[in-house]
Amino acid sequence: MEQRLEFVVRWSKHDASMAELCRQFGISRKSGYYWLAQYRADGVDGLKSHSRAAHHHPNAISDEVCAAVLRAKAAHPSWGPKKLGLLPGEPEHIRADWPVASTRGAILARAGLTVPRRRRRHVPPRTQPFGSVEQSNDTWCADFKGWFRTADGARCEPLTISDAYSRLLLRCQAMRHGTSSELVRPLFEATFREYGLPRRMRTDNGPPFASLGAGGLSALSIWWIKLGILPERIDPGSPSQNGRHERMHRTLEEATARPPAMTVRAQQRRFDVFRQHYNTERPHEALQQQPPMSCWQPSPRAYPRRLQEPAYSDAAAVRRVRHNGTIKWRGDLIYVHPQLVGEPVGILETTAGWLVRYGPIDLGWIDVVHTCLRRPVRRRRQPHLGEDAG
């Protein structure tokens, strides 16, 4: 800057010709005339270095398209750039110039509409049990969203049920009087009647889904087995094994409970609006940006009129659980489970001993010495005699 100013001052004093000045300053005559022109046009400010970037890029996103992206964000504040699409009624030329997700993200960032997230470490991906989920109703996920209080101080603990394949949110019900099996079962029954039966139900290890009894069975999971539904429980303290459902919970909380509604009834109305929006409008990245309803198929298994008791193979000895939760085996009373009173259990001879099962669930091996069941130590059931291990 000082050299440019000295060059202009010496030229204005006519101390030397342009060619001589340019040789002294080590520049071409073209550069010399350029800086003179800059000084005459803008004064000393004209001698400052300026960006050589073009004032306008021919491929830049137009202001109209940027405004359309911001309108889409205003209509869906909780959506990220991947999910944002054109709003109905936008002009055709904006539709033709609609930018890709990364450009939409840059537009939102320039407008200050993005919040940077703290990068978190994630556990390695788990392929089971979702590796066998190949169509709707293979596995449903159920859980209670963490409880919170509405603005009037009432406790609200939502029960959520979703389909693991399509991510369809089948039910989101605000619970305020507890989460016992007696209160939860009618909600599951209504869901089964509306959508049909799944093959498996994936839950955590808390009540009313499981208990500390043999096989972890609860009254609710016993009812599922009689409906032909296999209970699947994640490992204790491992919510990532039910990650699809847990991720939905975060979206549910952001959209409906920050801040909570005034009353539980008003909160339920928010849940209903969210479920409709989540199932039919909100794109899902794992579904190629399609809403869950586009991938959902009704279950061919309708809710039965009568419950069926579990069936066992001819190799199994069947015993019915007595009123005190025991079965009689070779002259001894073996304590099994109080929830199974009146239910048939099968006893299979395995390489590890006599295995007691209720339907597909292993309850334990008979301990004749202590007249009780020893809990299974492995997840996979032992093959009984006469049955292929595979």
More confident: 134 or 380: 134
142-295 has CATH 3.40.50.720 classification: no
pLDDT more than 90, % of the chain: 52
Q: What is the mean pLDDT of the chain?
A: 87
What percent of the chain shows pLDDT beyond 70?
Answer: 93
Q: What is the pLDDT of residue 377?
A: 59
Is residue 128 pLDDT above 80, yes or no?
A: no
Residue with the bigger pLDDT between 125 and 229: it is 229
For the segment 330-345, what is each residue's pLDDT rounded down to a tens digit?
888 999 888 899 999 9
- The pLDDT-based confidence of 378 (bands split at 50, 70, 90) is very low
pTM attached to this predicted model: 0.73
Residue 173 in contact with residue 158, Cβ under 8 Å? yes
How many Å apart are CA 294 and CA 362, to the nearest integer?
38
pLDDT of residue 120: 64
Q: Which residue has the tokens 């419950």?
A: 307
Distance from C-alpha of 53 to C-alpha of 71, rounded to nearest angstrom: 30
Q: Which residues contact 288 (CB under 8 A, 6 or more apart)?
A: none
pLDDT at residue 381, as a whole number:
35
Q: Could you tell me which of 330, 310, 129, 336 has the C-alpha nearest to residue 224?
A: 310
pLDDT in tens, 25-72: 888 989 888 888 888 888 888 777 777 777 777 778 888 999 999 999
Q: Determine which of 5-14, 53-62, 170-179, 297-306 has the lowest per-residue pLDDT on average.
A: 53-62
Residue 390: pLDDT band (50, 70, 90) is: very low
Which of 18-22, 33-37, 210-214, 248-252 is the most confident on average?
Answer: 248-252
191: left (phi over 0), alpha (psi -120 to 50) or beta: alpha
Domains of the chain: which residue ranges?
2-47, 63-110, 142-295, 317-374
